[in-house]
């Protein structure tokens, strides 16, 4: 990178031990920022979704593939920080579980105590499962939603007062296109990412007078989740897809690398994005998409103080607000 567009800035990247978070942290360091890297504990590896039973059902060839790919996605906050330092940057690791309110505070405090401030907060941590909605356990629901959006709120809660004081800040939250619903059976993940979008938009409006922006991005990239999903698909075929959905999930080898996400994140983290806030972007390879703002598409009004009767709604709705209606479930 020729221009150090983040020189003098301090960034925290929650969930940067591997994958997309690691790539973003490396990019921030290369752009001149001092970086606090983070994940839950040292040496975090292992599977997020693939069970031992499912792994055992893989063919020997698929097991060899899985083991080889998994080695590329191991690491933790310290190994990421070390990579930044080896590249000439400044970084320090902080092991903390952002789903815990007190540990999230420790993470943000580490940035302030180490580098004197916090300018940039990027939340990337996340997980999900593959399960029919009527089989989702309370444990799975909490596992996913305690990180997104709760963990993201936790880090924001403690970073924002510092940003308000300096009247400057960049908050970037990782969401997913699943916030709109998905063909994959992970409704708990759809809910979590919809929560991230709502949190992001609410924060953007509240913080507009303080020079603080808040945006969300949905990455499509090679990650641990991507290869685990392919492994599960190899075991169970298309059972990860909603009933009635045909087709295949994108092959892991055809998925863009996580480094492709970095340039636009650096842009959102920089002073060049001061007018961009409350938006949701999808990043897939070299394609950058901005989601349209939700708008009221149609409206029907009864010209009377009396409430609608059910008979009136049955008669009027199909020829008014529901005319030419298409459900998202009709894929």
Bridge partner residues of 39 (DSSP) = 95
Asked about 267 being catalytic, the answer comes back as no
* Contacts of residue 127, Cβ cutoff 8 Å, sequence gap at least 6: 48, 49, 143, 144, 147, 225
From the number of C-beta atoms within 10 Å of its C-beta (0-12, 13-18, 19+), residue 289 rates as middle
Among the listed residues 29, 84, 9, 71, the one whose alpha carbon sits nearest the alpha carbon of residue 262: 29
Contact present, 248 and 184 (Cβ < 8 Å): no
Contact present, 6 and 268 (Cβ < 8 Å): no
* Contacts of residue 97, Cβ cutoff 8 Å, sequence gap at least 6: 40, 41, 103, 151
Among the listed residues 302, 303, 328, the one whose alpha carbon sits nearest the alpha carbon of residue 313: 302
Structure tokens at 244: 């009635």
Q: Which of 152, 189, 210, 325 is catalytic?
A: 189
Q: At what angle do helices 19-30 and 77-86 cross, to 10 degrees?
A: 30
Angle at 219 between CA 8 and CA 140, to 5 degrees: 110
Contact present, 17 and 80 (Cβ < 8 Å): yes
Catalytic residues: 189
């Amino acid at each position: 990178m020729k221009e150090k567009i983040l020189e003098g800035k301090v960034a925290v990247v929650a969930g940067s031990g591997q994958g997309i978070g690691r790539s973003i942290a490396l990019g921030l360091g290369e752009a001149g920022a001092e970086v606090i890297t983070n994940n839950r504990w040292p040496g975090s590896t292992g599977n997020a979704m693939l069970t031992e039973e499912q792994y055992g059902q893989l063919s020997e060839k698929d097991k060899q593939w899985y083991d080889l790919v998994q080695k590329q996605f191991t690491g933790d906050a310290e190994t990421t920080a070390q990579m930044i330092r080896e590249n000439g940057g400044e970084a320090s690791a902080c092991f903390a579980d952002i789903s815990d309110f007190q540990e999230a505070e420790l993470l943000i405090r580490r940035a302030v105590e180490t580098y004197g401030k916090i300018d940039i907060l990027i939340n990337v941590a996340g997980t999900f499962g593959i399960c029919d909605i009527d089989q989702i356990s309370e444990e799975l629901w909490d596992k996913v939603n305690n990180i997104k959006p709760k963990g993201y709120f936790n880090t924001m809660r403690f970073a924002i007062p510092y940003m308000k004081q300096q009247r400057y800040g960049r908050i970037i939250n990782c969401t997913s296109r699943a916030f709109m619903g998905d063909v994959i059976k992970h409704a708990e993940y759809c809910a979590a990412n919809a929560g991230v979008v709502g949190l992001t938009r609410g924060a953007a409006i509240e913080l507009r007078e303080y020079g603080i922006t808040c945006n969300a991005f949905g990455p499509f990239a090679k990650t641990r989740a991507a290869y685990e999903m392919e492994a599960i698909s190899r075991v169970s075929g298309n059972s990860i897809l909603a009933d009635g959905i045909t087709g295949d999930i994108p092959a892991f080898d055809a998925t863009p690398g996580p480094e492709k996400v970095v340039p636009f994140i650096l842009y959102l983290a920089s002073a060049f994005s001061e007018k961009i806030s409350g938006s949701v972007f999808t990043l897939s390879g070299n394609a950058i998409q901005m989601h349209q703002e939700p708008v009221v598409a149609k409206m029907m009004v009864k010209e009377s103080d009396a409430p609608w009767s059910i008979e009136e709604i049955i008669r009027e709705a199909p020829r008014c607000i529901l005319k030419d209606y298409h459900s998202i479930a009709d894929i």
